[in-house]
């Protein structure tokens, strides 16, 4: 595949075939869809509860199994006995052939109040439901296919609801010892009756939310428990860990893009490769028509981890802005070629995995070592970046993720011992700029000397009061982006992630953008992100790209001291015109000095300070250790 096809050139008709599933997966024929809606007010976190909770046995002697659906990996007649249960073998549209089974227990009559569960749809995940009381259910999630772990993502349907009773749901096999559910995160609920009658979509629900370790004697698993009242009798409702964004959702978005006579002039869509199941891994090339000579490249990707659906909404906001008629979007297209892979792991998204591809391993631990037949998405993305680097500069790479243990939005970068002071500070500039551009919709802060909202008026930008957040927490426009949560240490366990791999290839600014499953705690807020918030983050990312590259100088409160720029003392009104990049380099230097307990302006080099000394915590991404590539994995014929 060529590094890019120039937008504006005639393109062959592009098809979007239906998703392909492993042959052992049953798939219902109903089309699952949800309206888009933004709650009129921020949805607050749930007050934290204690861990005390009655423990329920999962044996059928103490409860009744009312739903049990899981691919039978060990007895599927569709492939040879010696391979059953070991690994993915083949896929087809619609999944398992033949009639569907009936995993839900039938109702005994109109007075039966048992809920009817279903998860055999795209991105769905629920393996088992056990009724342990009149309105109380213990649930089991399905591990990622071809693994026995990674239970975090859930998305399932319930029918036969009653409005009056208080229901309790307990997911009994959550994998992670810590979760934002213990800090106020609420599950999402979608009511079809509310959507049809009132135009209300996904909303946060749940009281008495608890996250705790299972009982002694059980495997080391954790439980998520919540209570809820359904809004209507006889409703069809859905629960989800985060706003779902399926492979079919992406295809609908791209289909509309390709059919748009304006946007398709500066965006081409092609298949980077095909996944193990044969689903297309889509690559978008976005730039202004008329050639790419002299343009630098920005590479962005998302959904390498299928359970992190918030990253897809941030990616959609990024694409919406970049493909818009906004003056800043036009400037970005004139300056850069954008290479975007919006869904790196489509198979995992289709089947409802939390972390893995159909290889049964984490693809974000496979860069630089994977064979194209094992992890095609990450292999072809890395190979594409290598080809582009042979021709021109890749200015920035960013991989969009979701985070289940830390609030707010933050980034991970790459910082190595021995890097010069300038290099180490430069690594921190883009996240610092993004923190300034991300107030929670209170006012507008623009770092550029010429404000993007009014290109005719120049503004003076003064350094704010410094803090590890970028803005002081008391500021009413305090950001949803937490600069203090950003980490730059390259840990050994992260060597084969996309971020570190691209950095090793020579992409000097290589990042992971982490978006919390929950929301913001900054500026006195304790509320969930809406889909609109997630999409606005993508737009702010574009705004920050212009800040990062804008050559226009800004007047800042700095003065030269011994060849270095330092903040002015209070009362000093002199200003000097410097590029805004220099402004943020100075601020990054001051923040590091504060972090290390040095006096601002004391000088000194950062090149001899180890990354671990610069960070109070070495905790990295929301991940387990590398699973590696299975020794016995063989690429299937596709």
Give pLDDT tens digits for 293-350.
889 999 999 999 999 999 999 999 999 999 999 999 999 999 999 999 999 999 999 9
Instruction: Give the contacts of 548 (CB within 8 A, at least 6 positions apart).
Output: 396, 429, 430, 433, 581
Query: Considering just the CA atoms, what is the radius of gyration of the chain in Å?
Result: 25
Say whether 44 sits in a helix, a strand or coil: strand
pLDDT of residue 582: 74
**369 found inside a domain:** yes
Point out which residues pair with 140 in neighbouring strands: 128
Structurally, the chain folds into a number of domains equal to 3
Task: Give the list of residues 6+ apart from residue 637 with CB closer than 8 angstroms, or none.
Answer: 90
DSSP string, 502-543: HHHHT-SSEEEEEEESSEE-GGG--EEPPHHHHHHHHHHHHH
Question: Which residues make beta-bridge pairs with 169?
Answer: 137, 226
Does 321 share its domain with 210? no
Same domain, 285 and 432: yes
Residue 309 Cα distances to 157, 339, 388, 504, 516, angstroms: 18, 20, 28, 27, 11
Does residue 456 belong to any structural domain of this protein?
no
For residue 13, give both structure tokens: 């008709």
pTM attached to this predicted model: 0.86
In this structure, what CATH number is given to the domain that contains residue 204?
2.60.40.3120
**Active site (annotated) includes residue 613:** no
Q: Running DSSP on this structure, what letter comes out for residue 492?
A: G
Cβ count near 597 (within 10 Å): 6
- For residue 345, give the nearest of 398, 381, 396 by alpha carbon: 381
What CA–CA distance (Å, rounded) separates 304 from 313?
14
Query: Phi, psi at residue 517, to the nearest 5°?
Result: -65, -20
Residue 498: which CATH number?
A: 3.40.630.10
Pseudo-torsion of CA 624, 628, 634, 638, nearest 10°? 50
Cα(597)–Cα(6) distance, rounded to whole angstroms? 51
- Distance between CA atoms of 171 and 151, rounded to whole angstroms? 10
**Position 145 in a domain:** yes
User: How far apart, in whole angstroms, are the C-alpha atoms of residue 611 and residue 223?
Assistant: 36
**Residue 335, both tokens:** 């300056």
Tokens of 561: 């001291």
Q: Following DSSP, what letter does each residue of 356-405 receive, concatenated?
A: --TTSS-GGG-TTT--TTTSHHHHHHHHHHHHHHTTS-EEEEEEEEEESS
For the packed helices 580-596 and 421-437, what is the interaxial angle rounded to 10 degrees?
100
Position of tokens 């737009």?
Answer: 539
pLDDT at 215: 77
Report which of 146, 110, 105, 142 is spatially closest to residue 127, judged by C-alpha positions. Answer: 142
Closest-CA residue to 634 (of 88, 95, 92): 88
Burial (CB < 10 A; 0-12, 13-18, 19+), residue 573, is exposed
The DSSP code sequence of 24-62 is: T----SSPP-------SS--BPPPP--S-------STTS
Query: Do 429 and 351 share a domain, yes or no?
Result: yes
Is 604 among the domain residues?
Answer: no
User: Which residues form the domain of 229?
Assistant: 56-241
Reference 488, options 466, 517, 510, 472; nearest CA is 510
Task: Please tell me whether residues 186 and 300 are part of one structural domain.
Answer: no
Beta partners for residue 131, in sequence order: 64, 137
Among 187, 206, 241, which residue terminates a domain?
A: 241
601 belongs to a structural domain? no
**Marked catalytic residue, from 24, 514, 535, 587:** 514
Q: How far is CA 569 from CA 565, 566, 600, 601, 615, in A?
A: 12, 9, 11, 11, 28
Q: What is the C-alpha to C-alpha distance for residues 115 and 385, in angstroms, rounded to an integer?
A: 49
Q: Give a yes or no: residue 581 inside a domain.
A: yes
Q: Which of 124, 120, 122, 125 is nearest to 102 (CA)?
A: 120
Q: How many Å apart are CA 297 and CA 287, to the nearest integer?
A: 10
In which residue ranges of the chain is pLDDT below 70?
1-13, 50-61, 71-85, 216-218, 370, 417-422, 439-479, 551-580, 596-638
**302 shares a domain with 428:** yes
CA angle 539, 542, 545 (to 5 degrees): 155
What is the model's pLDDT at position 14?
75
| C-alpha distance from residue 267 to each of 4, 10, 312 (Å) | 11, 11, 18
Contact 16, 255 (CB under 8 A): yes
pLDDT in the model for residue 218: 67
Is 289 within 8 Å of 329 (Cβ atoms)? no
In a domain, 517, yes or no: yes
> Do 567 and 590 contact (CB within 8 A), yes or no?
yes
> Domain check: are 278 and 413 in the same one?
yes
**Are 141 and 73 members of one domain?**
yes
Return the closest-CA partner of residue 410 out of 400, 425, 420, 418: 400
Is residue 287 located within the same domain as residue 350?
yes
Residues 234 and 272 in one domain: no
493 φ, ψ to 5°?
-70, -10
In 186-291, the DSSP E strands lie at: 188-191, 203-204, 207-213, 222-228, 237-240, 267-274, 280-286
Beta-carbon contacts of 506 under 8 Å, excluding residues fewer than 6 positions away, are 389, 394
Q: What is the pLDDT of residues 50-61, one digit of tens each?
A: 655 554 545 555
- CA 573 vs. chain centroid, Å, equals 44
Q: Are 453 and 419 in contact (CB under 8 A)?
A: no
Cβ atoms of 346 and 363 within 8 Å: the answer is no
- What is d(CA 379, CA 66) in angstroms, rounded to the nearest whole number? 42
467 falls within a domain: no
Angle among Cα 237, 241, 246 to the nearest 5 degrees reads 80
Q: In the numeric block, which tokens belong to residue 361?
A: 């391993």
Are 277 and 237 members of one domain? no
Q: Are residues 221 and 274 in the same domain?
A: no
Q: Are residues 228 and 268 in the same domain?
A: no
Rounded Cα distance between 214 and 484, Å, is: 33
């Amino acid at each position: 595949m060529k590094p890019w096809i120039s937008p504006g050139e005639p393109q062959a008709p592009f098809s979007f075939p239906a998703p392909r599933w492993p042959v052992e997966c049953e798939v219902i024929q109903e089309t699952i869809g949800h309206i888009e809606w933004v709650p009129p007010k921020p949805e607050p976190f749930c007050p934290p509860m204690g861990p005390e909770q009655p423990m329920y046995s999962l044996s059928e002697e103490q409860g009744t199994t009312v739903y049990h659906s899981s691919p039978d990996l060990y007895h599927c007649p569709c492939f040879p006995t010696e391979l059953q249960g070991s690994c993915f073998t083949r896929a087809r549209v619609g999944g398992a052939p033949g009639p569907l089974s009936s995993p839900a227990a039938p109702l005994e009559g109109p007075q039966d109040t048992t809920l009817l569960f279903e998860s055999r749809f795209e991105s769905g995940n629920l393996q088992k439901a056990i009724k342990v009381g009149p309105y109380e259910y213990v649930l089991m999630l399905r591990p990622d296919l071809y693994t026995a772990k990674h239970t975090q993502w859930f998305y399932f349907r319930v029918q036969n609801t009653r409005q009056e009773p208080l229901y309790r749901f307990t997911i009994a096999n959550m994998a992670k010892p810590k979760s934002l559910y213990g800090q106020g995160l609420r599950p999402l609920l979608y009511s079809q009756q509310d959507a049809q009658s009132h135009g209300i979509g996904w909303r946060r629900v749940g009281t008495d939310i608890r996250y705790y370790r299972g009982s002694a004697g059980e495997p080391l698993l954790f439980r998520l428990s919540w209570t809820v009242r359904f809004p209507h009798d006889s409703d069809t409702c859905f629960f989800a860990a985060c706003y779902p964004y399926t492979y079919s959702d992406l295809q609908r978005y791209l289909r509309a893009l390709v059919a748009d006579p304006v946007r398709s002039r500066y965006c081409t869509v092609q298949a980077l490769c095909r996944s193990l199941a044969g689903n297309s891994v889509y690559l978008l090339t976005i730039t202004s028509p008329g050639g790419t000579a002299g343009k630098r490249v920005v590479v962005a990707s998302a959904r390498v981890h299928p359970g992190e659906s918030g990253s897809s909404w941030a990616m959609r906001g990024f694409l919406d802005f970049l493909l818009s008629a906004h003056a800043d979007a036009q400037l970005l297209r004139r300056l850069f070629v954008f290479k975007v892979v919006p869904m790196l792991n489509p198979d995992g998204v289709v089947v409802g995995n939390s972390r893995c591809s159909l290889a049964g391993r984490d693809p974000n631990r496979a860069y630089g070592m994977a064979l194209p037949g094992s992890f095609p998405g990450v292999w072809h993305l890395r190979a594409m970046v290598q080809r582009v680097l042979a021709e021109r500069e890749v200015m920035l790479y960013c991989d969009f993720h979701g985070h289940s243990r830390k609030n707010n939005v933050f980034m991970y970068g790459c910082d190595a011992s021995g890097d010069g002071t300038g290099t180490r500070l430069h690594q921190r500039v883009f996240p610092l700029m993004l923190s300034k551009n991300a107030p929670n919709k209170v006012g507008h802060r623009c770092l550029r000397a010429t404000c993007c909202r009014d290109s005719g008026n120049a503004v003076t930008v003064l350094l704010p009061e410094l803090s590890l957040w970028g803005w002081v927490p008391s500021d009413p426009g305090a950001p949803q982006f937490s600069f203090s949560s950003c980490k730059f240490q390259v840990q050994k366990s992260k060597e084969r992630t996309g971020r570190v791999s691209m950095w090793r290839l020579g992409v000097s600014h290589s990042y992971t953008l982490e978006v919390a499953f929950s929301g913001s705690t900054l500026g006195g807020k304790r509320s969930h992100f809406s889909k609109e918030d997630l999409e606005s983050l993508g737009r702010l990312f574009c705004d920050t790209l212009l800040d990062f590259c804008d050559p226009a100088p800004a007047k800042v409160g700095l003065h030269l001291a011994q060849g270095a720029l330092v903040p002015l003392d209070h009362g000093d009104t002199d200003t000097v015109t410097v590029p805004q990049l220099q402004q943020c380099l100075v601020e990054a230097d001051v923040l590091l000095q504060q972090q290390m307990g040095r006096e601002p302006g004391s000088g000194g080099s950062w090149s001899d300070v180890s990354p671990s000394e610069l960070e109070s915590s070495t905790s990295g991404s929301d991940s387990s250790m590398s699973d590696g590539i299975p020794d016995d994995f063989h690429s299937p014929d596709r």
